[in-house]
Amino acid sequence: MAILGFSIYSFLNRKTDGCHVKLPGHVPGEFYNATDLAFSKNQDTVYYDQQHFSGYVFALYPNNDTAFVFGYLNGLLEGRIRRWYPNKQIAEDRFYIQGGKEGVHKGWWENGKPKFEYHFANNEFEGLATEWFNTGKLFRLLNYKQGHEAGSEKIWWDNGRIRANYVMVNGQKFGLSGQKLCINNVTKISVK
């Protein structure tokens, strides 16, 4: 148990790209079924018996396999949350600090192929965001800086052909955006 605790601490306390990874707060190890009628929610805050909830909420499929497990601290998502498909394939693996998205968020299609991988810092997209079609082919590669698109961006059709290929510089898009241009038919009037 001590080795597992040290491993988790080491993993969560590592530095990446010179940035310190944030540690989640301590979520009490109590588990509650999501069907419990004492739960209520107001926007992003979860309550239990009208008090901010701290602990884990889970749901089960009819066959008693786990559908999801979410951790909460003072009513807000905290730590690692996971969802599964009914076929036991993991659907999502995400990380939260005080209700805000942090670190790497991954998703998979029901067939096990990757669906998305996003990176967050302070509840904003940061770095590469990748999405795939359920066939495993790339759908989008987008780069973010402090929640805004920045740098090279690419989007593909499901047949593998490029749909958009552009660069974002200071909020401006340069290149093929993949959008149709709307052109008004205007009759030219010559002035003599």
Q: Tens of pLDDT along 53-74?
A: 999 999 999 999 999 999 999 9
- Range of the structural domain that residue 165 is part of: 102-178
Write down the pLDDT at residue 22.
80
Total domains in the fold of the chain = 1
Cβ atoms of 81 and 92 within 8 Å: the answer is yes
What's the N-to-C CA distance of the chain in angstroms?
Answer: 90
Decide if 60 is inside a domain. Answer: no
The lowest-confidence range among 25-34, 85-94, 109-118, 176-185 is 176-185
Cβ atoms of 83 and 71 within 8 Å: the answer is no
pLDDT digits (tens, 9 = 90+) for 99-148: 999 999 999 999 999 999 999 999 999 999 999 999 999 999 999 999 99
Decide if 113 is inside a domain. Answer: yes
Both structure tokens of 14: 């590592």
Decide if 110 is inside a domain. Answer: yes
Decide if 40 is inside a domain. Answer: no
Write down the pLDDT at residue 100.
97
Residue tagged 């959008």 (tokens):
179
pTM of the predicted protein model: 0.79
